[in-house]
A and B are shown apart, each in its own frame.
Chain A
Amino acid sequence: MAVFAAAIAGVVALNHRAAGNVAVGRAEAIRLREAAHQSGIDFVHRPPTLDPRLAHIAPHVAALGACVSIADVNNDNWPDIYFTTSRFGVPNALYINQRDGTFRDEAAEAGVAALNRPGDGVSMGAVWGDYDNDGFEDLLVYKWGYPQLLHNLGNGRFHNATAGSGLRHWMNSNGAVWLDFDRDGLLDLYVTGYFRSDIDLWHLSTTRIMQHSWDFASNGGKNLLFKNVGNGRFEDVTDVMGVGSTRWTLAAAAADFNDDGWPDLYLANDYGPEELFLNHAGKRFELARAGLEDDSKSGMAVAVGDVFNRGRHDVFVTNISERGFLFQGNNLRINFLKELGRFDEIATGVVADAGWAWGAQFGDLNNDGLLDLVVTNGFISADTGRDYWYAMSKIAGAQGNIFEDAKNWPAIGTASLSGYERSRVLMNTGTGGTGGLVDVAEAAGVTDRLDGRSVAMADLFNRGVLDVVIANQKGKALLYRNAGNPGHWVEFKLIGTRSNRSAIGADVTVEFGGVRQRQVVDGGEGFCSQNDRRLHFGLGDQRLGRVTIRWPSGTEQVVDGLATDQLQVITEPR
């Protein structure tokens, strides 16, 4: 009897130690201060309105579209910020950095505001990349509708180049990534599909539009790979290259995960397992068996980072956890592709359980030489006295043909669904395992409980520290300004010559203090987000050693003796 009672006590004690109960704050190393309004950013996301036949679950279906991507739009070496919103007639925003700590929305003048139009669909995110190598970052806005390709004219204005580009395919997309998959020096484009592409969410011909499985759904929109053939034209090479997943992809990231010199594609799929498509010399992609296929969850974001300074691209994928109802847990997958042919999933505690997690990004927020992790959380914050979890659980375990039909879903009404959850700032203490990632959000100053979707990082004010921008669904955008720290740092702006000019896909490995950290120039990662393509490395109190750049063209460049605490602009050797 005593042992039996002790076992019950053990359950209670161990449960208390589980995720969410061990978020011990340590504020000394990361200090962030929310400063969006002070910085001139007053962007508020508006959700889409949909076909009336979805009215009973509209808050659930229309819970996407608040996204942020960062790029130096005007080549002044000051990062600018683009936000998408999702309501017809409501403009997206392009905040141009005024170089004085403030931003100014110039989207309308630039011609990148009025993209949410009946018949054309609404914005779900954007990625920047210089697809024509003219030296200016162009913009691809993916939508529930027709994607829009906006060519940067270099004079503060953009030309809508969608017509004739080959990209005008109706898609219900929530993600896209620029990559040069065939290393021809031109940026190609991978656009993910969520709802099927034959669905017009404003004029439904059927209500059978939802997933047919919560775990192994394959009835989502087809992802498309567009090859850049030059002259502003793209060709759909999806089927030839073998990357047409229909697994409700919410996010994609491209990097050379297996170190063969070619960019691979990592997908976070809702209602299904993650997928890694390995690139075989630009000729075809192959779906890898890398320990992902049996681990089915609700992937929302893909963040790429070298968590333990091993010189590898590890992956963090967000998922859902809700007390009592669902523990999928976020995945922190450590890359052992070269040794074992797989990733090992090691997330526990606060890394695994962040709530209903969405966007995530790695970045060294305290310049200590270790990548920290920011995760945004919360799905639908509405009536605090009403909760949709029980109602949703009625159909979640049922047969797929029941809930594939939206009309069979219980009405959500004014209920919340994992609402009012706080963002996480997981500081990497370098003590090994996921126990080394400590949640310091509240102590660091990240206290909002908005429905975070998208997060991006950049050294917005050229101070040698990473700032954090978060786009919130139906809420105001937040800018967490980094209060700084004494650690050394170095940043790289890479300019491709033989490679794409944005250098998207370039791998940079920095050696310092006996370790090496690897980062990749981002063509879009996280959830509907993109970090500034300048790479930021914190060094702590160490000296900078050798820097190895592997350009997308395949050229490897080794640089030594670079000064720290400054931006290094490096042009690819011709």
Chain B
Amino acid sequence: MSRLDPKYLIVFLITLVLVAGEARYSILGGYERLATTLGICMATEVLLSWWLRVRVANLSSAYITGISLALLIKAQANLLWPFALGSFLAIGSKYVLTYRARHLWNPSNFAIALLLLVAADSVTVLSHQWGNDLRINLVIWAFGVVVASRARVLHVTVTYVVCFLVLAVVRNAIVGGPLLAELAPITGPMYQLFVFFMVTDPRTTVSTRRGRITVVAIVALVETIIRLAGDFQLAVLRPLYPSPPLLALAIVGPIAMWWDLRRQAKAGPAPS
């Protein structure tokens, strides 16, 4: 029996996240938001792939991006344009922001980071809108671990989680206060999407297992630097504080991809 393509497992998992979040907590805040992100992500993917690559791409990636954005973007009341433009920019980044024919950013990560940085009057990111309920999160973590394992990216997830926990203790040692306050963020829904869908995205992670582990550890480290800056009230970095992990990945991810692609190019084509 042929092995199921891992991307379909990821499609299943994010659909599960969507259904659970909407059924229990109405997390979307309106179906028009989902229709907007899914519709524009898929339409953009179809159009750009046909136009620029003369073939229509598999839409599973656009589907994952569309749902991720519908879940992650929390816009000011009744605004739809962040969902629409965010979706277009997410998919567009795959075709525009490339190096050696590979895109550098995870599409959702690019769109969210961009919106947070240039549209902070209109957009923020998923935080507490999931009811802060342990049970649903445990279900998603359990499925997520299984899917990440089947997709052979569990080492990325585990490395990030371990780094986060260790660095949380370090942060606590530096800033004081309750340790649980430093550990708390990773128990939230935004981190579920981050550790299972963004930081593990096979298309925007480096080519070697060791490299992926190193890169995700650096992401956690940059996140910690942002968090410490927040604790020490460094005003100039305030735009980064609403979502340190997403912005850390948006900074580290493309640099790592660029470096990896360049390294591969120097090493020449891989033997067939």
Contacts and interface: CB of A to CB of B under 8 A. Distances in A.
A12 interface: yes
A410 interface: yes
B181 A4 contact: no
Nearest to A388: B233
B131 A386 contact: no
Q: Interface size for chain A: under 10, 10 to 19, 20 to 34, or 35 or more residues?
A: 35 or more
Contacts of A15: 118-123
B79 A18 contact: yes
Interface string A1-26: 10110011011101110111100000
A18 B76 CA distance: 8
A23 to B, nearest CB: 12
A409 B74 CA distance: 24
B78 interface: yes
Interface in A379-437: 385-387, 389-391, 393-403, 407-411, 415
Interface stretch (A134-142, A345-353, A530-538): A345-353
Contacts of A411: 177
A19 B230 contact: no
B131 A213 contact: yes
A409 B178 contact: yes
A440 B188 CA distance: 40
B89 interface: yes
Interface residues of B, number: 58
Interface in A295-346: 295-296, 321, 323-331, 345-346
B132 A352 contact: no
Given A324-B238, A410-B178, A212 B89 contact: no
Given A214-B128, A216-B131, A397 B188 contact: yes
A565 interface: no
A399 to B, nearest CB: 4
Interface string B83-115: 001101100110010000000000000000011
A294 interface: yes
Contact of B96 (A4, A395, A407, A415): A4
Given A327-B75, A348-B77, A352-B77, A408 B118 contact: no
Residue among A353, A396, A415 with the highest chain B CB neighbour number at 10 A? A396
Given A15-B122, A324-B116, A215 B89 contact: no
8 contacts: A8-B89, A213-B131, A325-B242, A327-B76, A386-B233, A397-B185, A402-B187, A408-B180
Interface of B: 25-26, 29, 74-79, 81-82, 85-86, 88-89, 92-93, 96, 114-116, 118-124, 126-134, 137, 177-178, 180-182, 184-185, 187-191, 230-231, 233, 235, 238-239, 241-242
Interface of A: 1, 3-4, 7-8, 10-12, 14-16, 18-21, 212-216, 294-296, 321, 323-331, 345-348, 352-353, 385-387, 389-391, 393-403, 407-411, 415
Nearest 5 pairs of A and B residues by beta carbon: A397-B188, A329-B77, A398-B184, A294-B26, A352-B77
